[in-house]
């Protein structure tokens, strides 16, 4: 459970850096996401899930 909380904290830090430090980039990325086809977003999400699982599996064994 503590690993989950650490992971959530890291996600919040990364998002905070994006929104707090680079707000114009965050706006542009949000606009780009709105114009992307749903299938592209779905594939990108599945690739991100697979990459995240692979990283956790490699690090945690």
1 pLDDT more than 90? no
What CA dihedral angle connects 7, 12, 18 and 23, to 10 degrees?
160
Distance CA 25, CA 14 (A): 13
Between residues 13 and 56, which one has the greater pLDDT?
13
The pLDDT tens digits of the residues spanning 32-61 come to: 999 999 999 999 999 999 999 999 899 888
| Domain locations along the chain | 2-60
The reported pTM is 0.71
Distance CA 49, CA 13 (A): 19
DSSP code per residue over 7-60: HHHHHHHHHHIIIII-HHHHHHHHHHHHHS-HHHHHHHHHHHHHHHHHHHHHHH
């Amino acid at each position: 459970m503590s690993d989950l909380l650490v992971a959530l904290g890291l996600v919040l830090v990364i998002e905070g850096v994006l929104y707090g430090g680079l707000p114009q980039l965050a706006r542009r990325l949000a606009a780009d996401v709105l114009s992307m086809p749903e299938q592209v977003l779905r594939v990108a999400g599945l690739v991100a899930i697979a990459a995240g699982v692979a990283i956790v599996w490699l690090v945690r064994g």
